[in-house]
Amino acid sequence: MEWRGCNSVEGILTEAVTRLVNADAEKVGRLVRKLKDRWSGRILLVLDGVSERNALPAAQNILQDLILKHKGACRLLFTTRPLEAAAGYEKMLWTHCSRINVEPFDDEELDGALAQAHIPPAEISDNLRSIARIPRYFATCLKLRSSLRQFGNLSVALVLWRDLLDRIDGLEPAIREALGFKNESDAVDVLVKLASGLPEAVATDRAQQLLNSCFDGKYAEVRNYLKELRIMDSAGKFEATLSRHHTTLGRALLLRQVLGTDNPLGVREAADRLLGSSEKFVLRMV
């Protein structure tokens, strides 16, 4: 159900009933009034993706309407990434809600999720398990497996890259604009720059300069988003730590950048390109 165009509990119910019942507007209205005023139990409305596609204003309007008019009749369950850094976030309004954190799968839960997908737990490597425990990445693992046939053909870096590309498409427009990730090449450039330059920049007290150069001078505005997206393990005001997995991904993307060509390269030419492009980075790798 597309709920982002609704601004009230009644609007959500009307949208839901319209999709479920083949009836005219008058009958839909009667059913909605019955749900609100005469239904014996409290209605649970589940609204997915508050942090995506500019849905926050609608979610806050619906929440305010519930508090003022329908608190005894309905309950709302929102799914979302942390909202505190989002533009337009109304902190006091959300104090009326209880937060339920979605924790990573434990071993039993992960094996159960694999069994539901008819995948033997033994197929997934320990390395891939470390990231598949996170529900959002588990869904990406399944998507990639369906096209690559088995988990053995996946790497953590590939899962992260596929997830980031999906997020670029699905992120709230304000977040996408702030990060500057309008397309794949934008994400490649930033990850390569961070993976190859951030450790040395931190060591020489130039981290803030590098971070601002990656995000158009807006690192302070986007640092919480970088942590939420798990790109950064830490994102302080003056320095940051790129996650281990995104460091590996950045290095892989650098290799693709440097060696990517329509014509096959000889070993010497490939080595010269690597050394000429990022000598310090290559030396750290070996």
Please name each of the domains of the chain with its CATH number: 9-94 (no CATH), 173-285 (1.10.10)
Non-local CB neighbours of 267 within 8 Å, separated by 6+ positions: none
Report CA 242 to chain centroid distance, whole Å.
Answer: 16
CA 265 → CA 91, 243, 254, 257, distances in Å?
A: 56, 31, 16, 13
- Residue 119: per-residue pLDDT: 94
Tell me what the mean pLDDT of segment 188-208 comes to: 90
CA 63 → CA 1, 4, 74, 94, 278, distances in Å?
A: 17, 13, 11, 8, 51
What pLDDT digit, counting tens, does each position of 232-283 carry? 999 988 889 999 889 988 988 888 877 765 555 566 665 665 555 554 444 4
Tell me what the mean pLDDT of segment 144-151 comes to: 91
57-93: string of b/e by CB count within 10 Å (b at 16+)?
Answer: ebbbbbbebbeeebeebbebebebbebebbeeeeeee
